Structure 1
Amino acid sequence: MTERRTYSYLGPAGTFTEAALAQVPEARGQVWNPVHNVGEALADVLEGRSDAAMIAIENSIEGGVSTTLDALATLPGLRIAGEYLVAVNFVLVGRPGIRLEDVQVVAAHPVAYAQCHGWLGEHLPRHAHVPAASNVASALGVLDGSLPAQAAIAAPGVVQHQDVEVLAEQIGDNDNAVTRFVLVTPTTVPPAPTGADKTSLIIELPVDQPGALLEMLEQFSTRGINLSAIQSRPIGDELGRYRFVIDADGHIHDERMYDALLGIRRFSPRVVFLGSYPRADRRIVQYPERYADDIFVEARDWIRGLLSGEPEA
């Protein structure tokens, strides 16, 4: 009998993270372990309690999730195995019998709260905010009285798991909001390229001087690699020092990406390879023909010929 795999995710049941994990075919029918935060999820993976962890890494409205980016930058031994997109919207819920006009304090995860500012300003202009650890935790805190709030912002899935009164639906300010999640595993061999791949890296600049960032970016542009995301995070050792979290179109097995990583390694004092994995949208990566794999192979063969003294054709 095959042993079941364990997946950690930000719980409890009903979170957007659970919805992301539900998109992973190999996770179905396995053990799902709800945790309290990103640090706990990644610790489960590193310490062998879980085979993988689903964590939020980016939101289309708020940008990168700082706790996730900083954890991936500082915890060795992790790889991103895949990415998953979840459309994000919210409901306002309370204990049964509560009315919208009774709400004075709203419990919400800070990211969720930021995405509902407009609706709250229009419908509850005098409300106060109490932070919660997750969207479901905000609802649970209202239900059990552990949070001093009459209502909570939560994911719509909370209605399937908790006895809550829905005070309002579709309260997000942007109907197109999406959160990007990544499935993180222990370090392993990258999966085979699919042609619709993404490579994620964290790169520190060697010095703080004019042109340093440009020199880093040129490692990709001169090889025809598009960067789908670039975010800066403070390193934390002194003011003005940053690391850059980069998503590059392509796979480490692609000759152009392989060559770019060689350049990045020579350039930067510290590079964290987070993984090459299939894009969530499965869009085939486009690039100029002069950066095709066989062009790089031919160029290397030409150099080898020069070094071996072969006559040029």
Structure 2
Amino acid sequence: MSTDAPERRTYSYLGPAGTFTEAALAQVPEARGQIWKAVSNVGQALDDVVTGRSDAAMIAIENSVEGGVSSAQDALSTIPGLRIVGEYLVPVRFSLVAPRGTALADVVARDLVAVAGHPVAYAQCLTWLGETIPHHEHVVASSNVASALGMLDGSLPAQVAIVAPGVAEHYDVEVLAENIGDNQNAVTRFVLVTGTVAPAAPTGADKTSLVAELPKDEPGALLELLEQFSTRGINLSLLESRPIGDALGRYRFVIDADGHVFDERVADALMGVRRFSPNVVFLGSYPRADRQVVHYPHRYGDEAFVEARDWLRALVAGEPGA
């Protein structure tokens, strides 16, 4: 009997260690004990999947404060052969850190404090900074991790840095304050992306993601697209427009619909979108991160669709009593 251990799977994520993306990947049970590959951007993560260098990639796709992550949406819209197989939510928390041995009182006492931070992180901490360290200036960093590393190695002229909580677990820094973000309810939504696979069985608490283009720029075109869902009782939890890029006024729409492609109402809606749109990209049906069961009126249930279809077939066949 063979004693060879099963081959380990590789997961790409936006690194290095300590990022929010790493925290999302830590939520994936099947990723534990596997190979985690840190990459520098979304494009590289998805290219790893397409080329087979990785089995899956974890990417951020939406933030409750900033909205959709355009680079991720555009990549999923244009790179063929990808599927979303799961989503994960990570609370957005920020900490203020400094070199080891620094106290917050020492920082506040300075005439001017240089704060390193990614622009998005800095913008989400302005209230706390204004109240606690009003005499500060912002030093732009390329990421939450880069703000800490630049402060530590001197490549950024900063005395303190705004970081994700995980950064303090991986680097030798002093945590001066925690939860300094202005919005304590901020959440980032991440998705796990693989190559093309058949959707997993529905759970009853599912979401379907797709991208669709309008056939032409004319009054009512968007309404007609949305009617494919509304007339089938399907709620949309995300609808964002992204420019196609070939001409002004040309847009594609990134859509998250409640339900699973195996649900009759969702499948019927997708066929309606396919008839209407010149280009539809199915991104996947997968369990919702919040596990909230999708509710809908009885008339949109699978049984109602099957009964209506059987009724029509009886009519066409000329069956008595149809």
**TM-score, length-normalised on structure 2?**
0.92
Which secondary structure does the structure 2 equivalent of 1:156 belong to? coil
Alignment of 1:47-86 (within 5 A): 47-86=51-90
Alignment of 1:27-66 (within 5 A): 27-66=31-70
**Worse-superposed segment, 149-158 or 284-293:** 149-158
> Equivalent pairs: percent with the same residue?
74
Question: Are 2:300 and 1:291 equivalent residues in the alignment?
Answer: yes
CA distance in 2, matches of 1:118, 1:7: 36
Pick from 271, 277, 286: which aligns with 2:286?
277
Structure 1 match to 2:218: 209
Contact 1:37 1:133 in 2 (8 A): no
CA distance in 2, matches of 1:288, 1:240: 36
The alpha-carbon deviation at position 97 of structure 1 amounts to: 4.6
CA distance in 1, matches of 2:142, 2:75: 17
CA distance in 1, matches of 2:11, 2:117: 25
Contact 2:107 2:113 in 1 (8 A): no
**TM-score, length-normalised on structure 1?**
0.95
Q: Which structure: larger Rg? A: 2
Structure 2 match to 1:17: 21
Superposed structure 1 runs of 4+ greater than 4 Å apart = none
Alignment of 1:120-131 (within 5 A): 120-131=129-140
Structure 1 match to 2:169: 160
Structure 1 match to 2:241: 232
CA distance in 2, matches of 1:211, 1:305: 36
The alpha-carbon deviation at position 126 of structure 1 amounts to: 4.8
- Alignment RMSD (CA, Å): 1.6
Contact 2:242 2:252 in 1 (8 A): yes
CA distance in 2, matches of 1:67, 1:94: 31
Structure 2 match to 1:175: 184
Unaligned runs of 5+ in 1: none
The alpha-carbon deviation at position 282 of structure 1 amounts to: 0.7
For 2:221, give the aligned amino acid: A
CA distance in 2, matches of 1:239, 1:152: 40
CA distance in 2, matches of 1:290, 1:209: 32
CA distance in 1, matches of 2:250, 2:122: 30
CA distance in 2, matches of 1:132, 1:57: 21
CA distance in 2, matches of 1:242, 1:73: 12
The alpha-carbon deviation at position 127 of structure 1 amounts to: 3.5
